[in-house]
Structure 1
Amino acid sequence: MHLDSDDGPFLSVVIPVFNEQATVGQVIDRVLATPWPKEIVVVDDGSTDGTWEVLQKWQGKQGVRLFRLEKNQGKGAALRFGFSQVTGKIILVQDADLEYDPADYALLLEPILEGKADVVYGTRFHGGPRRVLYFWHAAANRFLTTVSNMITNLNLSDMEVGYKVFRREILQKIRLRSNRFAFEPEVTVKVAKLGCRIWEVPISYSGRTYAEGKKIRWWDGIAALSALLYFRFFD
């Protein structure tokens, strides 16, 4: 896969953001520091804390494109909108909270660049440094990943990971529906149904506490389980 192209950038980094004024600027700076030709599509999902005002610093600069949803709809909705705007050959999802480090892009992109993968997942459980946090979050993640593997016949280790990378053609074949964090199980079921070549690579992970702004809650786990079953058997 060529890094330069006359019909668009090589890499599109989509950043959904909701109320992350303290971290989103650092995330954009770190993404800009990565060496690949790219565009950065930032979708503000109706933030109310001043995030949109912080983002104005990057308006029109260095391939950064800003979009704002007037009403908060959830990560999945923000990603759907962002995916509709991208022009790159490879699409990478980047959270805005500093839990995931853009220094890992080389690892994430390598299987696609080598022509071995259509989709790449990071994994927080094999090899990369990670902050030690909540046992029950990890247990729930492993349970959801196990259920996901059972119904998709994949052997992922971290279905819920935020770092997911796609060849653009793959996302163009998928109709996504989920508005909130159920994006993760939905897209996993759908790339499995397509028979995509999926790779995992170890990434670093600096998780946050709830006091530091973590947003996912226990009911999102129940929604993820429901989404796995719905999108596997009924959608």
Structure 2
Amino acid sequence: MPAYNEEKTIGSVVLGTRQHALRVIVVDDGSTDRTGEIAKLAGAQVLVHPTNQGKGAALKTGFKAVTDSDIIITIDSDGQHSPSQIPRLLDPIIKGEADVVNGSRYLSGNGKETPAYRRVGQNVLDAATNISGDLNITDTQSGLRAFAGHTIPVFRFNSKGYTIESEMLIDAANAGLKIKEVEISTTYGDNADHKANPITHGFSVLVKILQDMEFNRPLYYFSVPGTLMMFVGFVLGIYFFDRYLNGTLNFFPSIGAALLAIFGSFMAFTGLILHSMSRMIIRAMGK
């Protein structure tokens, strides 16, 4: 349970989670309030970061402390997710139906509780994450998830911040893990305002996903747009050449068409090379 300045909600979330877990670990990520103290009073084991390092760093610390666990649950400490929903996530892993279970606020078209400005940004992040990981997840930014214990070595924890939500799903997909979604509800209430500015937060997450896409999905990122540019360049080149044969010289447009075709060809081949390299790296890592 990553926590940063959540003294108002941490106690109730810990108490609720203890009803469904053998051990509750709170990673106090440099809080300046009584988050850690209250979590400890509520019965949690508290691990402390001296300074705020971000959600990804907090989850990395937490996962290092639970390497002997059969199932790990991650839940946000701001009270948006009710611990009473934890059994929904445990069931598919216990039955062997999934390695990773994602709690989705938007399964079956739900999610009316989510503020509209958030949902628009989340749609973009969902699309980018799904393309990068070749996934079909309806809520890629969910803070309520379950993981089988054997999945722990799969996760890189490269991201220090909120990008970790997408990164973990992409890592799971690249490793061939079975991912399942279950429907959950959420309550925003007084917590509707994210600690980070929603625009800068969403943009930073999107940039990181796109950076990952360069490695995970280079064909989408380079080859597809490059091929389109190359095709347009060739078509325009033929058109301008035909006009030249008919006595009309379009010098600068012709040069532009040639450059478009050359640059598109370069992007397309770059995508193919990166795709081959990424597959080789993934095979070498045993994924």
Equivalent in 24, 36, 49 of residue 52 of structure 1: 36
Q: Aligned-pair distance for 1:220?
A: 1.4
Q: Identity of paired residues, percent?
A: 31
Q: Secondary structure at the match of 2:103?
A: strand
Q: Which has the higher helix share?
A: 2
TM-score normalised by structure 1 residue count = 0.84
Please name the residue that 1:68 is paired with.
48
Distance 1:92 1:186 in 2: 17
Mapped partners of 1:128, 1:20: distance in 2: 30
Q: For residues 133 and 154 of structure 2, what CA distance do their matches in structure 1 show?
A: 18
Q: Tell me how far 1:198 sits from its aligned partner.
A: 0.5
Aligned length: 214
Q: What residue in structure 2 maps to residue 19 of structure 1? A: 5
What is the CA distance between 1:174 and its match in structure 2? 2.2
Q: Does 1:79 align with 2:59?
A: yes
Tell me if the contact between 2:104 and 2:182 (Cα under 8 Å) persists in the aligned partners: yes
- Quote the Cα distance in structure 1 between the aligned partners of 2:110 and 2:37: 33
Partner residue in 2 for 1:146: 127
- Give yes or no for the alignment of 1:168 onto 2:168: no
CA distance in 1, matches of 2:109, 2:136: 19
Q: Specify the alignment match of 2:224 in structure 1.
A: none
- Which position in structure 1 is the counterpart of 2:206? 225
CA separation of 1:141 and 1:77: change in aligned 2, threshold 3 A: same
Task: Indicate how the Cα distance of structure 1 residues 105 and 133 shifts in structure 2: closer, same or farther if over 3 A, else same.
Answer: closer
1:213 Cα deviation (Å)? Answer: 5.7
Q: Give the aligned partner of residue 185 of structure 1.
A: 166
Distance 1:56 1:102 in 2: 17
Do the aligned residues in 2 keep the contact of 1:159 with 1:184 (CA within 8 Å)?
Answer: yes
**Shift of residue 180, structure 1, vs aligned partner:** 1.0
Aligned residue type for 1:83: F
**Aligned-residue offset at 1:221:** 0.8
Give the aligned partner of residue 234 of structure 2. none
Larger radius of gyration: 2
Aligned pair 1:29/2:9, yes or no?
Answer: no
Relative to the length of structure 2, the TM-score reads: 0.70
Larger RCO, structure (CA 8 Å, separation 6 or more): 1
Q: Report the AA paired with residue 25 of structure 2.
A: V
Match of 2:240 in 1: none
Structure 1 stretches of 4+ moved >3 Å: 127-131
Structure 1, unaligned stretches of length 5 or more?
1-14
> Any stretches of 5+ residues in structure 2 without a counterpart?
217-287
